Amino acid sequence: MNKKLKKNLIEYGIIGAVLIGLFVTGLHTEVFGFLQRGILATGIMDPKIEEKADIAAVTPAKGAVLDLNLVNSKGEKVNMEQFRGKVIFLNFWATWCPPCIAEMPGINKLYQDVKDDNVEFIMLSVDQNFEKAKKFKDRKGYGFEIYKAAGPIPQMYSTRSIPTTYVIDADGNLALTHLGMGDFDTKDFKQFLTELQ
């Protein structure tokens, strides 16, 4: 066997071992999320959020279903209806979803900036093991509360794609549906949330 082929086989073997190690340890999700966050920061990928400001003038408001039973990370039962009168940022996510992990730091920054502005964040984990989601949130030091569903999810929020984000205005109308990863920590998006109050 020639030296170049042997060297290539060793390099591929090392890369393969690292990838297998990432998957076996479960770290692949965080590594892929970190890489996607880096791509977001460079601007190569631009997951723009299209606010419905122009559409709102010509489209009648669609009432959001607020009857959604939840349990927070402290084990307290909550119904989304109790947040009526606030702007609701509802995000479906999971610890095994790299795009979800990638958008979390931006959502946390947004939360820190608007948490006192009558905006309620409902970070709804779809993880089978909610303990894993709680440990992830605590390890990352995110300030927002996380929830799991405590009953059926209304058809309005049924999605096969995560992350998915819904924004509901203070009057209970659906103002935004965003499928996929988003960059929510922007001046325009903060203004959009403020205008919904």
Report the candidate in 25, 165, 185, 3 with the shortest Cα–Cα distance to residue 107: 185
User: Quick one: average pLDDT of 70-88?
Assistant: 96
pLDDT of residue 2: 76
Q: Residue 10: its pLDDT value, please?
A: 72
* pLDDT over 90, % of the chain: 62
Residue 61 has what pLDDT?
54
Residue 53 has pLDDT above 70, yes or no: no
Question: Tens digits of per-residue pLDDT, 54-64?
Answer: 333 334 457 88
User: Is residue 167 domain-shared with residue 97, that is, in the same domain?
Assistant: yes
- Does the pLDDT of residue 43 top 80, yes or no? no
Number of domains in the chain: 2
The answer on 157 and 68 residing in a single domain is yes
C-alpha 20/C-alpha 14 separation (Å) is 10
Same domain for 115 and 30? no
58 lies in the same domain as 98: yes
Shared domain check, 29 and 66: no
- The predicted structure's pLDDT at residue 72: 98
Q: Are residues 112 and 140 in the same domain?
A: yes
What is the pLDDT, as a whole number, of residue 59?
A: 43
**Could you tell me the two tokens for 127?**
């993880």
Tens digit of pLDDT for each residue in 110-157?
999 999 899 999 999 999 999 999 999 999 999 999 999 999 999 999
User: Would you place residue 3 in the very low, low, confident or very high pLDDT band (cuts 50, 70, 90)?
Assistant: confident
- Whether 145 maps to a domain, the answer reads yes
Instruction: Specify if 48 maps to a domain.
Output: no
Residue 47 lies in a domain: no
Q: Answer yes or no: do 135 and 170 share one domain.
A: yes
Q: Do 95 and 191 fall within a single domain?
A: yes
Q: How large is the average pLDDT for residues 83-103?
A: 95
* In a domain? residue 23: yes
- Tell me, what CATH number does 57's domain have? 3.40.30.10
Is 189 in the same domain as 98?
yes
| Inter-CA distances, 144 with 19, 22, 60, 81, Å | 32, 28, 31, 18
Is residue 58, in this structure, part of any structural domain at all? Answer: yes
Enclosing domain of residue 21: 3-42
Can you tell me the distance from the alpha carbon of 183 to that of 187, in angstroms, rounded to the nearest whole number? 11
Residues 84 and 124 in one domain: yes
The pLDDT assigned to 106 comes to 95
Residue 63, phi-psi category: left (phi > 0), alpha (psi -120 to 50), beta (remainder): beta
Residue 151 tokens, joined: 């009953």
Same domain, 90 and 164: yes
Give the separation between CA 56 and CA 195, rounded to whole angstroms: 12
Mean pLDDT across the chain: 83
One domain for residues 37 and 59: no
Sign of CA pseudo-dihedral 131, 136, 140, 146: negative
pLDDT at 64: 87
Total-model pTM: 0.75
